[in-house]
Amino acid sequence: MYEATQKISKEHREFLKKVKRKEIAIKITQISLLIAFFALWEIAGRLKLIDPFLFSQPSRMIKTIINLSKDGSLFTHIWVTLSETLIGFALGTFSGIVIAVLLWWSDFASKVAEPYLIVLNSLPKIALGPIFIVWMGNGEAPIITMGLAISLIVTIISLETGFKQVDEDKIKLLKTFGATKFQILTKCILPASIPTIMSAIKINMGLSWVGVITGEFLVSKAGLGYLIVYGGQVFKLDIVMTSVLILSILAALMYVLLVYIEKKIIKWQ
Amino acid sequence: MRKVMVELSNISLNYHTIKGETEAIKDVSFDVCEGEFVGVIGPSGCGKSTLLSIIAGLLKPSNGSVRVNGKVGYMLQKDHLFEWRNIMQNVLLGLEIQNTVNENSIKNIEDLLERYGLSDFKYHYPNQISGGMRQRAALIRTLALKPDIMLLDEAFSALDYQTRLAISDEVWTILKNVKKTAVIVTHDISEAIAMCDRIVVLSKRPAVVKNIYEIHLTCDLRSPIGCRKAPEFKEYFNEIWKELDVHV
Ligand SMILES: Nc1ncnc2c1ncn2[C@@H]1O[C@H](COP(=O)(O)OP(=O)(O)OP(=O)(O)O)[C@@H](O)[C@H]1O
Ligand SMILES: [Mg+2]
């Protein structure tokens, strides 16, 4: 796989062009589908094929966004949900990594923890929501805890598995150099697990959104989850639809950002 | 009498698992002298890697005594370059572990990379260079620690045949030039005859020494590829083949 410096042949140029054309076609189709979806939604609403009161409508959603932006409350809601998600995600991922490292370090602890992890993993964490609320009050704490709890156990389990899959011979190699256990961890186990960690991070991001929104459904005074529940209760579907749309855009942006960071970190692939 | 670098006397080793006890090595004794290349050959699973681990100090024998005079460098079957480190970072690994990265050691590594044709690939990642180059990088990583005794555990078996011949010739020449001592484990009888001054043939597991062959080849150029034409080559091959008693 040396750098190919020879001139590109005509045949190869044709091939590249074909690949490029296909890529462009895919992109155009994707964007058209999106535009068509919103256009049809709008038209169906205007022609009263669907009831805008129940289904909302792109134009009404734009109006809602403008209205909610006027007093700045939209940004407060977005910020509340975003910050809760990021904090819950960061705490869940970080403590997950730390615990996985500890379990890697002590085989005894790992064996002891195994059945508990299995049970906790199969428990739907949402069920713990009311308990968190009772314990922590109705502020942001129980919501952040939901965002944390939902990603913690999967992180521990997937990282511990990842750590164990690192090639034994790589560790043997380090031992021939006289490496300590700590050096084996930092020079080999952790860097070798970066792809595993990155994929856990991507999954956790998604899970933390779920945890936080559910938390906000249960108890909250602000946030997109609050807006959705509030809009539903007062039958303002415009607010609900708008919040869902904003939520999906935020989640997608976050994912794109993570993929970008992943590419920057894993530069050897 | 040459200085003895490795002295194994009546080594035995048992592995213990829940399923039971595996007697890997039963009674192995042999010496390796300074500058000597000793081949270890035997059926698969007979305990060759275990033997090297004992010499390297990674495993303690259940019985018997090991004496090793000097620093040991280990080369495993695969190159095990870390894919997240570039070649330079990879060859520095052992020094980093031992906290001996300094101007001198870096200078030494730069020299080695230069001498073995890798200096243009210092900042490449392992997956960007060929198998032969990777093996050379792995050799430099080991040589960087200035070992006196090299342990090669089927170090070339992951390479394709042509590369394998070329690289084993190259590694042999490098190691002979710097006057290292080597213990070479291989499955390949020809490779063992071509590279070694002495060959220890082990039995099936639990390993005992079946025979030790002194290799004397008459050839102008004593290098693994050069000496394959020696008239004695075939005789050694046939004898060792018979000794191994392979049934399929
Ligand atoms: N950690 C271990 N625990 C238990 N048994 C082991 C362990 N390592 C090796 N063994 C067993 O000990 C025997 C010798 O193993 P070893 O790897 O030394 O053989 P080998 O001669 O190097 O084999 P190969 O030719 O396949 O490389 C084998 O039967 C193997 O199954
Ligand atoms: Mg082996």
- What is the Å distance from ligand 1's center to A102 Cα? 29
Q: How far is CA A51 from CA A24, A42, A43, A47, A238, in A?
A: 36, 11, 11, 9, 12
| Cβ of residue B50 lying under 6 Å from some atom of ligand 1 | yes
- For the CA of B48, the closest atom of ligand 1 is 21
Of A173, A178, A194, the CB nearest to B76: A173
Domains in chain B, CATH or no CATH each:
4-70+148-244 (3.40.50.300), 82-147 (no CATH)
Q: Please report which ligand is nearest the Cα atom of B41.
A: 1
Mean pLDDT for the stretch of residues A226-232: 94
Contact A192 B127 (CB under 8 A): no
- Kindly give the pairing relationship between strand B181-185 and strand B149-153: parallel
**Does B76 lie at the interface with A, CB-CB under 8 angstroms?**
yes
Residue A71 is predicted with a pLDDT of 86
- For residue A192, pLDDT over 90 is answered with yes
Q: How far is A177 from chain B (nearest CA, A)?
A: 6
CB contact under 8 A, B97 and A191: no
Contact B150, B175 (CB under 8 A): yes
- Which pLDDT score is estimated for B132? 86
Residues of B in contact with A1 (CB under 8 A): 127-129
Mean pLDDT rounded to a whole number for chain A: 92
Give the pLDDT confidence score for residue B111 in this predicted structure: 92
- Any CB–CB contact under 8 A between B93 and chain A? yes
Pairwise CB contact (< 8 Å): A191 & B84: yes
The pLDDT, as a whole number, for residue A24 is 96
**Bridge partners, residue B213, by sequence:** B199
Joined tokens for residue A134: 């009772």
Q: What's the one-letter identity of residue B91? A: V
Q: What is the pLDDT at residue A2?
A: 47
- Summarised one tens digit per residue, pLDDT across range A81-120 is 999 999 999 999 999 999 999 999 999 999 999 999 999 9
Distance from C-alpha of A59 to C-alpha of B242, rounded to nearest angstrom: 88
Distance A220 CA to ligand 2 centre (A): 62
> How does residue A22 score in pLDDT terms, banded at 50, 70 and 90?
very high
Ligand 1 within 6 A of B21 CB? no
How does A204-229 read in b/e, with b if 16+ C-beta sit within 10 Å? Answer: bbbbbbbbbbbbbbbbbebbbbbbbb
Determine the atom of ligand 1 nearest the C-alpha atom of B51. 18
CA of B52 to the centre of ligand 2 (A): 9
What stretch of H or E contains B198? strand B198-202
Distance (Å) from the alpha carbon of B36 to chain A's nearest alpha carbon: 21
Whether B24 is in the pocket of ligand 1, judged by its Cβ within 6 Å, is yes
> What is the share, in percent, of chain A residues with pLDDT greater than 90?
86
For helices A237-265 and A58-70, the axis angle rounded to 10 degrees is 80
Confidence class of residue A1 from pLDDT cuts 50, 70 and 90? very low
Query: Which chain A positions have a beta carbon within 8 Å of B80's beta carbon?
Result: 167, 169-170, 173
Enumerate residue ranges in chain B where pLDDT < 70: 1, 248
Q: Does residue A4 register a pLDDT over 70?
A: no
Residue B244 CA to residue B193 CA, distance in Å, equals: 14
CB B126 within 8 A of CB B88: no
- Does ipTM exceed 0.90? no
The answer to whether the CB atoms of A1 and B129 lie below 8 A apart is: yes
Confidence class for position A5, pLDDT limits 50, 70, 90: low
Residues B183 and B186: their CA atoms lie apart, in Å, by 10
Token pair listed for B131 = 């198998």
Please name the residue of chain B whose CA is at the shortest distance from the CA of residue A190.
B84
Q: What percent of chain A has pLDDT over 70?
A: 98
How far apart (Å, rounded) are the C-alpha atoms in residues A65 and A67? 6
Using an 8 Å CB-CB cutoff, list residues of chain A that contact chain B.
Answer: 1, 167, 169-170, 172-179, 183, 187-188, 191-192, 194, 266-269
CA angle B100, B138, B85 (to 5 degrees): 70
The reported pLDDT for the residue numbered A6 is 60
| B80/A167 touch (CB, cutoff 8 Å), yes or no | yes
